[in-house]
């Protein structure tokens, strides 16, 4: 799986700083979701479904055989705002080594973006379910070294 998504978390921080209120930031997140790589319909199966999300979310990930190995993933949802949150996660985690992923404190990132404050409890639970899936893969990869 080779996924091209060039947005960084610093890019998102910069954009959020320029946007005045949550409505503008939410619109920006929705726009980010339109730029996600497509997940093939054949991948939208229960095996790839992220449980704990209010919306349907499918996430496919792998560890590349590069040196050092990195985690790559692609995910899609049937909800526009969730696709934007997926874009944030891809900027934060995709293309990083397992160690880099493990070392990131997502709560700090989400607080800086205001997601902790603005997302409903159900959306936050779904966001953390996606984080858990990616971090679990990273922990497994790090342990198998």
pLDDT tens-digit readout, 50-71: 988 789 999 998 888 888 888 8
- Answering whether pTM is above 0.75, one says yes
pLDDT band at 2 (very low <50, low <70, confident <90, very high): very low
According to the model, what pLDDT value does residue 20 have?
Answer: 84
Instruction: Find the catalytic residue in 32, 36, 39, 53.
Output: 53
Report the chain's mean pLDDT, rounded to a whole number.
90
Give the helix ranges, DSSP H, for the chain.
Answer: 9-18, 22-34, 80-93, 98-103, 106-113, 115-118, 121-143
Per-position b or e across 100-112, b if 16+ CB within 10 A of its CB: ebeebebeebbee
Q: What is the CATH number of the domain that holds 70?
A: 3.90.1010.10
Q: Tell me, yes or no, whether 26 lies in a domain.
A: yes
Q: Higher pLDDT residue, 54 or 145?
A: 54
Q: Tell me, yes or no, whether 30 lies in a domain.
A: yes
According to the model, what pLDDT value does residue 144 have?
Answer: 78
Q: Tell me, yes or no, whether 80 lies in a domain.
A: yes
Q: Tell me, yes or no, whether 3 lies in a domain.
A: no
According to the model, what pLDDT value does residue 5 have?
Answer: 62
Is 53 a residue of the active site?
yes
The pLDDT tens digits of the residues spanning 18-33 come to 998 999 999 999 999 9
Domain total for the chain?
A: 1
Contact 61, 48 (CB under 8 A): no
Query: If you average pLDDT over residues 6-28, what whole number do you get?
Result: 93
According to the model, what pLDDT value does residue 99 have?
Answer: 94
Q: Tell me, yes or no, whether 4 lies in a domain.
A: no
% of the chain beyond a pLDDT of 70: 96
Query: If you average pLDDT over residues 119-129, what whole number do you get?
Result: 91
Q: Tell me, yes or no, whether 2 lies in a domain.
A: no
Contact 22, 36 (CB under 8 A): no
Which residue range(s) make up the domain with 55? 9-143
According to the model, what pLDDT value does residue 1 have?
Answer: 45
């Amino acid at each position: 799986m080779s996924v091209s998504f060039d947005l960084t978390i610093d890019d998102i921080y910069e954009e959020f700083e320029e946007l005045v209120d949550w409505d503008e930031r939410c619109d920006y997140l929705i726009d980010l979701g339109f730029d996600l790589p497509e997940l093939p319909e054949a991948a939208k199966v229960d095996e790839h479904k992220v449980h704990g999300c209010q919306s349907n979310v499918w996430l496919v990930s792998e560890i590349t055989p590069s040196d050092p190995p990195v985690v790559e993933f692609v995910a899609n949802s049937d909800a526009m705002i969730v696709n934007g949150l997926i874009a944030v996660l891809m900027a934060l985690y995709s293309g990083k080594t397992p160690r880099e992923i493990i070392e990131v404190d997502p709560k700090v990132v989400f607080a800086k973006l205001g997601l902790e404050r603005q997302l409903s409890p159900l959306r936050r639970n779904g966001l953390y379910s996606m984080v858990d899936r990616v971090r679990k893969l990273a922990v497994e990869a790090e342990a198998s070294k």
